[in-house]
Structure 1
Amino acid sequence: MAVNLRPSQALRLWQSVALSEVNAGMPDLSHRQLAILLTVYLEPPPHTVRGLAAALGVTKPVVTRALDTMGALKLVSRHRDEEDRRNVLVKRTIEGALFLERFGDVIIARAKELPL
């Protein structure tokens, strides 16, 4: 499916989604946190801190800080890899799946409201 938006429409959509999230009192995730969250949920597992850092082009401590916040919100969980204790696995949670499903629904709803 192709989506044809002018830059102003894309920005208006992003603004509308952001305002909707703020007004709904949803967690205030940074772009980096949202990128990590989407990667964990849209790409096949397993996900490691090391792998996420490489995918985003940032350091492991940067990913760890983002995961600390998202873990406190129960959007992801972390566990030591039993097969390789050096790795920390990042796993999906029910709360995270519901958050992103709702977020996707908000994007679709706001996109339908765009003037043509």
Structure 2
Amino acid sequence: MRSALPIEMSASQALNLWHGASLQQVRLGHDLTLRQISILLHIYLVPPPHTVRGLAETLGVTKPVITRALDTMGDLQLVSRNRDDKDRRNVIIKRTLEGALYLEKLGDLIIDQGRKLAI
């Protein structure tokens, strides 16, 4: 288990970390938009259930905006969508193995970039 030690860094260092991680993502062909990454992180870090309506409220965007982002992420098999059996108006967004692996690799990539900054 990794210890949760506070890390001191300047805004410039934080931006360099984000820059390095973003460049690696693009080079690997995994260049999701910031909106898509925000949605994906929310789905995986916040306990379910997740709905299109709930994600739209959380991100402060419309349901069609969320739907378009989910279309792309669904094509990449990062998430799946199903109608809510209890309320057919709701669409439930679920995690997938591919999505979990994507975020695991992204986390590792960010850790690696942080280590490079520490050297």
Q: TM-score range by the shorter chain?
A: over 0.9
How does the TM-score come out when normalised to structure 2? 0.92
| 1:96 corresponds to | 99
Whole-angstrom CA distance in 1 between matches of 2:91 and 2:38: 18
Stretches of structure 1 lacking an aligned partner (at least 5 in a row): none
In 1, Cα distance between equivalents of 2:63 and 2:27: 32
Find the counterpart in structure 1 of residue 29 from structure 2.
25
Alignment TM-score, normalising by the size of structure 1:
0.95
Aligned twin of 2:65 = 62
Question: What letter corresponds to residue 72 of structure 1 in structure 2?
Answer: D
Alignment length (residue pairs): 115
Secondary structure (helix, strand or coil) at the match of 1:114 reads helix
Which AA in structure 2 matches 1:54?
Answer: E
Structure 1 segments, 4+ long, off by >2 Å, are none
Give, in angstroms, the shift of residue 115 of structure 1: 4.2
Q: Cα distance, 1:89 vs. partner?
A: 0.2
Which amino acid counterpart does residue 20 of structure 2 have in structure 1? S
Task: Give the Cα–Cα distance (whole angstroms) in 1 for the partners of residues 47 and 53 of structure 2.
Answer: 15
The percentage of aligned residue pairs carrying the same residue is 60
Task: Note the residue ranges of structure 2 that are not aligned, 5 or more in a row.
Answer: none
